[in-house]
């Protein structure tokens, strides 16, 4: 039996963290630039078992960052008062074993309207954001 790194969904934090990881539209992905400076960027994402799936533009600096420094941190916005904190750490890698974002049903369900607003159609968005990244979650923490 495989043990999940995700929090126990029967606990208050686990229930809240998993609900937010499944429903939030934006998560902040922080990579580390070549000069050692953290580089946070808001990204769209899907929780996929014990990993997060993110699609990127080919020219996104984060692609080069994870090639040299694959350890990343991600966080969801808090409640503005220091509460409802969810922080995820993990290892990022580029993948090519998933369909394009405009052909992935779960991604379309979550982002189709936004894809159309940003690019004119899901197909155009998929062409603009063809590089898939998987973040294997090592830890989820917060309060």
DSSP 98-123: S--GGG-HHHHHHHHHHHHHHHSSHH
Q: pLDDT tens-digit profile of 99-122?
A: 999 999 999 999 999 999 999 999
Q: Which domains does the chain have, with CATH numbers?
A: 12-97+130-142 (2.30.110.10)
Q: For the segment 44-54, what is each residue's pLDDT rounded down to a tens digit?
A: 999 999 999 99
**Mean of all residue pLDDT scores within the chain:** 95
Dihedral angle sign, alpha carbons of residues 75, 89, 133, 5: negative
DSSP 9-39: TTSHHHHHHHHHHHH-S-EEEEEE-TTS-EE
pLDDT at residue 1 greater than cutoff 90: no
Query: Residue 4 carries which DSSP code?
Result: P
């Amino acid at each position: 039996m495989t043990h999940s790194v995700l929090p126990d969904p029967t606990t208050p934090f686990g229930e809240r963290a998993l609900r937010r990881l499944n429903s939030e539209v934006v998560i902040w992905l922080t990579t580390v630039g070549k000069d050692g400076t953290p580089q946070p960027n808001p990204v769209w994402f899907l929780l996929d078992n014990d990993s997060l799936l993110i699609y990127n533009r080919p020219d996104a600096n984060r692609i080069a960052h994870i090639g040299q420094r694959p350890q990343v941190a991600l966080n969801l916005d808090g409640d503005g008062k220091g509460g409802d904190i969810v922080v995820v750490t993990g290892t990022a890698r580029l993948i090519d074993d998933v369909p394009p974002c405009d052909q992935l049903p779960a991604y379309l369900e979550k982002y189709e309207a936004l894809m159309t607003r940003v690019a004119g159609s899901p197909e155009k968005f998929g062409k603009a954001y063809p590089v898939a990244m998987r973040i294997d979650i090592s830890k989820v923490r917060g309060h």
